Amino acid sequence: MRVSVPERLRSLLAQDDHACDRLVRRMAGPAFDSGNGVLLQVDAMSDGELLWEPVRGCWSVRPRSQGPRTLRRDQHLSCGQAAEAVAGFGRAVAAWREAVVSAGDAELDEVGRSTYPHGSDAGEPFIDVVWWVNQEVLHHGVEIALLRDLYRAFSG
């Protein structure tokens, strides 16, 4: 493991660490920081909540046998269990963080260092991919928080 993180990576890494930590706490409970230092109590996500669909026909996590989906990502398997989904997210975060901190300053400019299916990263320097992943965590983290709030309100 690289001991020294390049200076230009430090703020991105700190942002990602903070966002991922808040998101895991928001999904797993028992408390998360509201953003102003106040701890709010939240139940761990349940299996019912993970599979909940706020409107009929929305994109959702569901067993393949129960879904009419035509868009399939056969490499991604969902167990349909909230605790495992949260744990899987934690493992993915740890693996991504390891990949990021293992990059030296020269590797941050390397094009094609990271490849993901259906992405634009094959033509982008790694530092841009790191920035983009941060934006995805923030974007989808907000969606998860909103859905958690809606689930709590509607199941109430």
Angle at CA 79, nearest 5°, toward 78 and 80? 90
Which stretches of the chain score pLDDT less than 70?
A: 1-3, 61-68, 70-78, 115-120, 156
pLDDT value for 123: 83
Query: Can you read off the two tokens belonging to residue 129?
Result: 């991919």
Q: b or e along 3-34 (b: 16 or more beta carbons within 10 Å of the residue's beta carbon)?
A: eebbeebeebbebbeebbebbbbbbbeeebee
With a pLDDT cut of 70, the percent of the chain lying above it is 81
* Full-model pTM: 0.82
